[in-house]
Amino acid sequence: MNRIDLCGEWVGHKDDKTTFIGTVPGCVHTDLFDTQKLFFNQNSKESRFIENENWTYTKKFYVEKLHKHATLIFQGLDTYCEIYLNNIKIGFADNMFIPHSYNVDNVLQKGKNILEVRFFSPIKFVAGKEPLPGAFTTERLYTRRMQCTYGWDWVDRFVTCGIFKPVYIEFFDEMCVNNVYIYTDSIDCCGAQISICESFLNYKYGGNISTKIFDEHGKLIARKNFFCDCETYKLIFNIPEPKLWYPSGYGEQPLYTLKISVGECEFTQKFGIRTVRILEQQDRKGSKNFKLCKQLQNTKSGEEYDFNTSYSGFIPVINGTKIFCTGANWVPCEPFPSAETPQKITEILEKAKAAGINMIRVWGGGLFETEHFYNECDRLGLLVTQDFLMACGKYPEDDSDFLAQLKKEAEFAAIYLRNHPSLIWWTGDNENAVRGNDEKKQYRGRIASHHAIAPIMQRLDYNRPFLCSSPYGGNLYASKTCGTTHNTQFLDDMIRYILQKDLSDYKEHWKEYTARFIAEEPILGAVCCDSLKKFISDDLIQDRSLWLYHTKSNPGLKIELLEMAEIFAEKIFGEFTDFDDKYFKLRYLQYEWVRITLENARRNLGFCGGIVYWMLNDCWPSAVGWSLIDYYNNPKSGYYALKHMRGQVCGSFDKENNTIYLYTSNTVPFKTECLAEVVYIDISTMNRRKIYSGRFSVGQNSKRIKICESLPDNAVLIADIKANNTYTRNFYVNGSICLQKEKNFNIKFKDGAVYISSKVYLHTVEISGAENVSDNYFQILPGETKKVSYTLQNEPPVITAYTLKSKQEENK
């Protein structure tokens, strides 16, 4: 198979014939602008004209020798365009999510050739169509391109066009591998049985096929040879003593290698041996879980969305082991897909694993991600759930052409992703069907999911679960007592509570959002100062209009998201004293939000199968946003809250009828020995005393220990838990957390580390101005010294500390 690479320099021009040098892969925005300058202050407004123009890209290339079966392949075109080769129209493309290929046998010339791609304005192309209901701007619903860059509540509007993936000409002269489907049939005491379905191009010529399997160390463990002159051929391999693939925290991630040789053509595919299913056992009437479901139905959000009469869990099971999923939603890490780099993707995913994340949900308003992304998830043990690419709207499901596009996408995605062990289920869309249920004949998203996508998945990836939407399950699909749930769906309820209440009971209120599997858990918080200064100039750092511009919002909500964050932070942390105090509390808000939601999910192990935060990463620089890791790959405070609870065993406090209990939760399926100590600190005197110490074993799920009958308002409890060489620390205070900046503490810098100690209780310590900080937003007890390592910079890092203000002083 010969190939002519057509990437690199192209000539671009718009309708008025203004020319520029273009790059493929790329797009108009990246060709005309320095994106880092584009993201600064409000400069992105300067690029809005691009979406309303037509653009053309031209490439001259030379062919030394013609071969048979010449195919021009575009891996990605964004979006509406006509393709011309040597002034002959060879095709039209209207879908960003799939490759486009064209036979050019009768058009390609020996010697000089001219390839031209004429892009049409994606806005003008759908102008005049009937408006459809949906979130944010809705002209996007007609166009099969990345939805979020039409503008969302975390990214500006960047509607671009271009050749954003590689383009080349291939000559298919002889038999070669088209695609492969590898799946685990069974795992038992005899080993693992693996099926391999091989599909070929030009198979009528026939050929001798060699299929080999190598283990994770490169050792050949199985081989079969055969002659084939058919389109498909199925092989079954039995692997004795297989090394099974598990998600991070539950085992290793060994990857086998499949190699198929057909003459001079060789095909290679990594794969893992594992089984997957979703456990949805119905709750027994009168059981603890059943009673909790009844309580959740009686909440405001439950009354609106939850009409279930029976309840069931939702727990992923890998190789027979129940998995508690701690995850986050992935959005494109750049607004222009061609700008995504393997390095940036790897850094985000490695940081996710380091924080204890074991699941990534690829959200439906983005893309089918790069091959590198899924390979890294396989390597790191990050479970993947993949949405099909629709989000928050009523799509034109009555249009047969639209359904045909979805079928093409489903066929591409199934073949593209089905061999990845990390991928554990598919989802038909994001939030289109929140008011649907399985018994309804009609609801938004049903035709797209059941008539277009599901039949393709049943044919091409029949061993993997397919959920018709996210959220999904129960009556309604947005309900909390069956299936998956999006707590982002309840933002209106959260805002109402934040505006109307004093938030002294916010920890209790957030228990209302407990669910069987939380596929979206919202978590707002500000970025660190190092990141903020990269997109807002120093002299405008306090300019509220720029904060609003880089926070964005949702027009469906009662208030701006920035205002929501400000009110929330001030009510639970205390009145802002100045800009720096406000900015710190906006940063720390996300830590507390992650802390209370993850602790609640882990206290309810067995009821709750997982919590997936909205969201892992950013698509552009947000000032206050949902991501755990910002656009510049700097972790925000919520990231460290996750990291502080990443142990298989961790603790949390909870108050029931004024009695304080310590819960220890174990996410693995075997008993674990623990050592727990609880310290009581009087905030007014800073005296500390140990009030509990004990050794015990905890099985999978949670164990409860009574700590004290009541807790004064001027006290804090600290729990330290050690188990299996891991250590976690948790705290508890009554009501809100009254933060007060503390300057009296000691710091010492030595050999790439800082040593911090204090005579008073430091509730949270932030280290900024350094990279690769080993810990952040941690507590320091009176008399305690904390060592934190970091990567040396030109200047030493800045240490900021807050203690707790007594409630009496706060009330004054």
* Confidence at residue 693, expressed as pLDDT on a 0 to 100 scale: 96
Q: State whether residue 178 is helix, strand or coil.
A: strand
Please give the Cα distance from 289 to 481 (Å, whole number).
Answer: 9
Handedness of CA 775, 776, 781, 784 (dihedral sign): positive
Q: What is the DSSP secondary-structure string of 557-587?
A: SSS-HHHHHHHHHHHHH----SHHHHHHHHH
Please give the Cα distance from 585 to 753 (Å, whole number).
Answer: 25
Strands, E assignment, 461-566 = 466-467, 485-486, 518-522, 525-526
Within a 10 A sphere around the Cβ of 478, how many other Cβ atoms?
Answer: 28
- Residue located via tokens 């399950």: 473
Within a 10 A sphere around the Cβ of 264, how many other Cβ atoms?
Answer: 9
- Confirm if 739 and 574 have CB atoms less than 8 A apart: yes
pLDDT band at 382 (very low <50, low <70, confident <90, very high): very high
In degrees, to the nearest 5, what angle opens at C-alpha 326 toward C-alphas 658 and 411?
145
DSSP state of 290: H
- Confirm if 326 and 642 have CB atoms less than 8 A apart: yes
**What would the mean pLDDT of 375-380 be, rounded to a whole number?**
98
Name the helix (H) or strand (E) containing 729: strand 726-732
Strand partners, 268: 259
Within a 10 A sphere around the Cβ of 506, how many other Cβ atoms?
Answer: 21
* Confidence at residue 597, expressed as pLDDT on a 0 to 100 scale: 98
User: Does position 778 have pLDDT exceeding 90, yes or no?
Assistant: yes
* Residues contacting residue 336 through CB under 8 Å, at least 6 positions apart: 26, 27, 29, 30, 35, 158, 160, 164
* Confidence at residue 699, expressed as pLDDT on a 0 to 100 scale: 85
pLDDT, tens digit, for every residue of 49-96? 999 999 999 999 999 998 888 999 999 999 999 999 999 999 999 999
* Confidence at residue 811, expressed as pLDDT on a 0 to 100 scale: 58
User: Does position 557 have pLDDT exceeding 90, yes or no?
Assistant: yes
Q: State whether residue 139 is helix, strand or coil.
A: helix
Structure tokens at 58: 């031209």
CA atoms within 13 A on the CB side of 406: 31
pLDDT, tens digit, for every residue of 337-349? 999 999 999 999 9
> Of the given ranges (396-410, 489-503, 506-520, 790-804), which has the lowest mean pLDDT?
790-804
Please give the Cα distance from 373 to 380 (Å, whole number).
Answer: 11
In whole angstroms, how large is the CA radius of gyration of the chain?
Answer: 28
Cα of 485 vs its chain's centroid, Å: 15
Structure tokens at 808: 């009496």
Closest CA to 498 of 569, 593, 582: 569
Whether a cis peptide bond, with omega within 30° of 0, leads into 476 is yes
* Confidence at residue 793, expressed as pLDDT on a 0 to 100 scale: 78
- Confirm if 139 and 126 have CB atoms less than 8 A apart: yes
- Confirm if 244 and 274 have CB atoms less than 8 A apart: yes
**What would the mean pLDDT of 796-810 be, rounded to a whole number?**
85
Within a 10 A sphere around the Cβ of 34, how many other Cβ atoms?
Answer: 10
Structure tokens at 330: 């992935």
Provide the H-helix boundaries in 35-89: 35-38
Name the helix (H) or strand (E) containing 4: strand 2-5
For helices 371-380 and 342-354, what crossing angle results, to 10°? 30
pLDDT, tens digit, for every residue of 736-749? 999 999 999 999 99
- Confirm if 275 and 318 have CB atoms less than 8 A apart: yes
pLDDT, tens digit, for every residue of 314-366? 999 999 999 999 999 999 999 999 999 999 999 999 999 999 999 999 999 99
Q: Supply φ then ψ for residue 97, to 5 degrees.
A: -90, -5
* Residues contacting residue 304 through CB under 8 Å, at least 6 positions apart: none
